[in-house]
Structure 1
Amino acid sequence: MPMFKRLLSLPMAVIAFTCLYPLFFTLNNALKTNKEYILDRFGLVSSPTFENFVQAWTRSRLSEYFLNSVTATVGACLLLILLSSMAGFALAILRFPLRRLVFIAILASLMIPVQVVLVPFYKTIIAFGLLNTRLGLILSYTAFFLPFSIYLMTSFYAGLPRELTEAARIDGCSYPQIWWHVIFPLGKPAMITLGILNALYCWNDVLISLLVLQNERTLMVGIAALRGEYTTNVPLLCAGIVLAALPIVALYLIFQRQIVNGIATGAVKG
């Protein structure tokens, strides 16, 4: 058995290397000058410089794009947690006609590719006057990521003992009071996981933000714009990628235990 575990660790080590090497390659080249990169693309940096980070943050306006990304991501995540918690409570705890049909329709919407609905989505954004607004981007992220969020929260709440809601009803609590005082606090592990996953989706999005914010940009769209039409300053591009990845990496390092526990809990209870 120990020999089998050692053999199994070899392909896992290869997979880990393929995941870590692009991060090392990006950070290593971000510390090079453009001349040093051209002369030796894969070699270790000899004279580290932070000029690329300064130039990407100031001259390339990544600081402005960073604010747009933070606003859209935080706003969408908070709205998604609130709405999906309420919908998950209704679908998992309450009993009303066509409840299963509604849940199946939500699951079916997960199978629809984003590209299929881009034209009606864009027309809707224009019709409601949400084009080139941060509110429009927040609502867009909420609409696209809400089905998965509802599914996750419904699966989690379905595993909670029904005696909790029945006891609260006997004590005279209304359904909104049960959700706020009983169900919502118990759903924190799933909500933390949901918030981090949605933050990843919103932060890394390019397509939706490119359609909604046309006069301004989010961070990922701004980084994509660092690529030139004929030539690209690769160290500058790598510096922008590192700056964009730092908040997400920090978020994962801080909440990695909650992510694992939340996913495991949702999988067992689902």
Structure 2
Amino acid sequence: MSQARWGRWLLAVPMAVLALATVYPLVFTANVAMKTRRDYILDRFSLADALHWENIATAWNSVGMARYLANSVVVVTVSVFLLLLFGSMAGFALSQLRFRGSSVLFLCCLAALFVPFQVIMVPLARIMGDAGLVDTYPGLVLAYVAQFLPFTIFLMTSYYRTIPPEIIDAARIDGNDVYGVYRRIMLPLGTPALLSVGILNALFCWNDVLISLLLMPSADHRTLMVGVTSLRGQYSDDIPTFASGVLIAAVPVLVIYLFLQRQIADGVAAGATKG
């Protein structure tokens, strides 16, 4: 066997194992969701002998999953929009505009990435309570923006630094002010990075449990992941129903990825090779 073929096998085998380790939990969850409680107790690893869709109906109707899904969609959409807006503005300013203290501001954003949320969760809860933002959608959106904005600024600044400054100078010569350069030049050029960062932030916000559980104590305002957690407590002895709730929470993310996988790959590649 040639050396090139050996090299392909050495790369293919670990990637296949990684793909299997990634796909197996989802397949296992879907298989469990299609079982009856009795079938799961008898053999949890066997294939379902029939598709028991009533588990999904029970999970959907028992704890108000439709309401939780709507809450998550609203909160995640608004949060990602604000993150991309503020992150792209800050990335443009820190990478292309020359002003005193820009390097210090960028280092502060970078340092914020290393602060775990558990360190600030108690002060955050007290501040949100004093401001009357606990158990409100704006409060949760604000918390998500504050938590994930440093990550967004870091990636957008790194991407915008690869854009030659001559493009900015040419746009200024053509009569564009700072906002015109941002709107007409930086936003179109930053589309690949914005798409990648937006999807990552959407996944972060969608999968969050701790922040939502801290700031949304009432049942009507819970997000989908917190609803799945409450489903686990209600059906602790009915694993197929709980697996159905997990499957419901995973389906929107899978659908987004299936439709945007090419754009995600192009955005990551553009961010890695541009310039």
TM tier relative to shorter chain: over 0.9
- 1:178-197 aligned at under 5 Å gives the runs 178-197=181-200
Indicate yes or no: 2:264 matched with 1:259: yes
- 8 Å CA contact retained: 2:30, 2:244: yes
Q: Does 1:223 align with 2:228?
A: yes
Alpha-carbon shift at residue 267 of structure 1 (Å): 2.6
TM-score, normalisation: structure 2 = 0.94
Quote the offset at 1:8 in angstroms.
Answer: 3.5
Shift of 1:230: 9.0
Whole-angstrom distance in 2 between the partners of 1:148 and 1:234:
36
Partners of 1:134 and 1:97 in 2: CA distance: 36
Partner Cα separation in structure 2 for residue 152 and residue 231 of structure 1: 41
Output aligned runs, 1:230-269, within 5 Å: 231-269=236-274
Matched, 1:176 2:176: no
Q: By how many angstroms is 1:19 displaced?
A: 1.6
Contact 2:235 2:242 in 1 (8 A): no
Structure-1 separation of matches of 2:16 and 2:85:
39
Matched-pair contact (CA < 8 Å) for 2:140–2:216 = yes
- Please say if residues 235 and 241 of structure 2, whose CA atoms lie closer than 8 Å, have aligned partners that are also in contact: no
Q: Per-residue deviation at 1:269? A: 4.3
- Indicate whether 1:53 and 2:83 are aligned: no
Separation in 2, partners of 1:86, 1:231: 46
Q: CA RMSD in A?
A: 1.5
- Structure 1 stretches of 4+ with a deviation exceeding 4 A read none
Letter in 1 for 2:264: I
List aligned pairs for 1:28-47, cutoff 5 A.
Answer: 28-47=31-50
- 1:152 and 2:155 correspond: yes
Structure 2, unpaired ranges of 5+ = none
Q: Do residues 75 (structure 1) and 78 (structure 2) align?
A: yes
Give the percent of matched residue pairs that are identical in Structure 1 and Structure 2: 47
Cα separation, 2, equivalents of 1:178 and 1:256: 30
Between the aligned partners of 1:63 and 1:241, the Cα distance in structure 2 is 13
Match of 1:140 among 139, 143, 146: 143
The secondary structure found in structure 2 opposite 1:227 is: helix
Provide structure 1 residue ranges, at least 5 long, that are not aligned to the other structure: none
Residue aligned with 2:232, SS: coil
2:54 maps to a residue whose letter is E
Conserved 8 A contact 1:89-1:157: yes
- State the one-letter code of the partner of 1:260: A
Report Cα offsets for 1:185-233 as digits up to 9, x if no partner: 1111111111100000000000000011111311101111112379431
Give the distance between the partners of 2:10 and 2:209, measured in 1 at CA.
40
Aligned positions, number: 270
| Residue 40 (structure 1) shift | 1.8
Deviations 1:72-110 (A, max 9, x none): 100100000000011011001100001111101110110
Deviation of the 1:20 alpha carbon: 1.5
Instruction: Return the alpha-carbon distance in structure 1 between the equivalents of residues 77 and 105 of structure 2.
Output: 28
